[in-house]
Amino acid sequence: MAGNKDAGGKKNVKAGKADMAGKSGTAGLTDVQTLRRRARENVGQGAITPSYTADRDTVVRLLNEALATEWVCVLRYYRHYFSASGMFADAVKAEFLEHAQQELEHANLISERIVQLGGEPDLDPDTLTARAHAEYKPGKDLRDMVRENLIAERIAIDSYREMIDYIGDRDTTTKRMLEHVLAQEEEHADDMKDLLDGWIGK
C-alpha cells in the first residue's frame, strides 16, 4: 500500500484496492481466480458451493421434520378455526386463522430451502404426524384448543432453537430462515398465552 502513490506523492486508493482484491488470503478471503475456478466445478449443485460446510443430508432431514411440524400446525389451526364456537369464538377464530396462514408461509419457506439444498420436501400425508414434533390435537372446547396450540408452539420453539444451535454458522441462510420462523412461533405462543391468561381463561 505504501508504494501506491501518484506523481504528487499521494496514495492511490483505487490502485491499493485493486492490489488487495488480487491477493489471496486478504482478511481471510479467497482470491478471485480461485472463486472463479471453483464456481465452474460441480455447476449442477446450484447454490451449494465448496464453502458450504454443513452436513447437507442432516440439514435436509431436520428441515423435513420442521416441514412436517409446520403442516401439522397448519392443519390443527385450521381445524380449530372452523370448529371454534362459544362466546369468544369470533376473536379467537381470527387468531387461529392468522396463525394457520403464517404456519403455511413457514412451510413454504422450508420447502424452498430444502430444494435449494438438493433435497426433496417430504409431504407424504401417511407419515406427516409421525415425523412432526408437534401433535395434532382437536381440543375439547375453545379453551382447550388455545391450550393445545400454546403447547404446540412451545414444542416448536424448543425444536427450532436446537436446530439453529446445531446448524450454527455452517449454513447461515438456513440459520437466518429458522431464526425468522422461531421469532414468529414465539409471537404465536405469546398470543395463545394472552388468550389463556385473559378473558378466555376467566
Which amino acid makes up residue 197? D
4 in any annotated domain: no
pLDDT at 86: 81
Instruction: Identify the CA nearest to 67 among candidates 105, 30, 38, 10.
Output: 105
Are 153 and 188 within 8 A, CB to CB? yes
Q: Total domain count for the chain?
A: 2
Euclidean distance between CA atoms 38 and 93, whole angstroms: 52
β-partners of residue 5 are 11
- Give mean pLDDT in consecutive 10-residue pieces for the chain, a chain of 202 residues: 49 45 60 73 66 86 98 97 87 94 98 96 96 93 94 97 96 97 97 82 46
**Domain co-membership, 185 together with 153:** yes
DSSP 133: S
**Domain co-membership, 34 together with 80:** no
Alpha-carbon dihedral 184, 190, 196, 198, rounded to 10 degrees = -130
46 in any annotated domain: no
Per-residue model confidence as pLDDT tens digits over 39-53: 677 666 666 767 677
Euclidean distance between CA atoms 85 and 90, whole angstroms: 8
116: domain CATH number is 1.20.1260.10
pLDDT at 20: 41
49 in any annotated domain: no
Alpha-carbon dihedral 140, 136, 202, 199, rounded to 10 degrees = -120
Between the alpha carbon of residue 28 and those of residues 31, 40, 170, 172, the distances in Å are: 9, 21, 16, 18
pLDDT at 35: 65
**Domain co-membership, 66 together with 28:** no
pLDDT at 43: 65
**Domain co-membership, 24 together with 92:** no
Per DSSP, the three-state class of 176 is helix
Q: Give the domain range for residue 32.
A: 13-41
pLDDT at 111: 98
**Domain co-membership, 102 together with 137:** yes
**Domain co-membership, 29 together with 129:** no
pTM: predicted TM-score of the whole model, two decimal places: 0.78
**Domain co-membership, 98 together with 181:** yes
202 in any annotated domain: no
pLDDT at 25: 52
pLDDT at 109: 98
